[in-house]
Chains A and B, each alone.
Chain A
């Protein structure tokens, strides 16, 4: 079966750095997405990785290792507005998106 694993919940302090991990086992791989979802709102796209390595976008970076079936989302200089759920999704060999259950990130002052 296909599976995406993420921690259920994480807590971090305002101004700090947090890393949210995602491991996947899918039939084939055609890219990995990270989305942010604030409570009661729609998921919004954060990043896309298809090749190994780090993609940086402002305070957010995403890393991919295809050989390890592993990705992480790195959030720097945390702000209170970063409190949200972070969803990892992998596109499989049929180009279908397989979603993780999301990681709820709580930021404390």
Chain B
């Protein structure tokens, strides 16, 4: 247990569906992240929130929409996804976005787009 939880753990959705991924951290951290992890590729940073403000959006398609209502919760809203979006989506948190603070990861949501 890392103190970061994600739901659901597995999700299968069609290209016309709308779904949301949820992340919650119980560590009192101020920064939260969404990553995409595809097989044999580096982790791809999607979004960063620091003190509830979005500080990074790495050219992510608009079919992915993040929401951060408070420092403990992060959502990723999904709509009209493509099969190439199938991947493991990891949420992480850290004390801050700078310095030596390591990131704590949740177990991920395995997403399959059919």
Contact = CB atoms under 8 A, between A and B. Distances in A.
Interface of A: 4, 8, 30-31, 33, 41-45, 48, 50, 87, 89, 95-102
Nearest to B38: A101
Q: Which 9 A-B pairs have the closest CB atoms?
A: A42-B105, A45-B102, A99-B43, A99-B42, A95-B98, A101-B42, A43-B105, A42-B107, A48-B100
Contacts of B56: 96
Contacts of B2: 42, 44
B104 interface: yes
Most buried by A among B4, B42, B105, B107: B42
B42 A4 contact: yes
Contacts of A87: 43
Classify the secondary structure of B's interface with A. loop
28 contacts: A31-B99, A31-B100, A33-B102, A42-B2, A42-B4, A42-B90, A42-B105, A42-B106, A42-B107, A43-B43, A43-B90, A43-B105, A44-B2, A44-B105, A45-B102, A45-B104, A50-B100, A87-B43, A89-B43, A95-B98, A95-B99, A96-B45, A97-B103, A98-B42, A99-B42, A99-B45, A100-B42, A101-B42
B23 to A, nearest CB: 11
A102 to B, nearest CB: 8
Most buried by A among B2, B102, B104: B102
Given A45-B104, A89-B43, A96-B45, 4 more contacts: A30-B99, A42-B4, A43-B90, A45-B102
A102 B102 CA distance: 17
B66 interface: no
A98 B40 CA distance: 15
Contacts of B108: 42
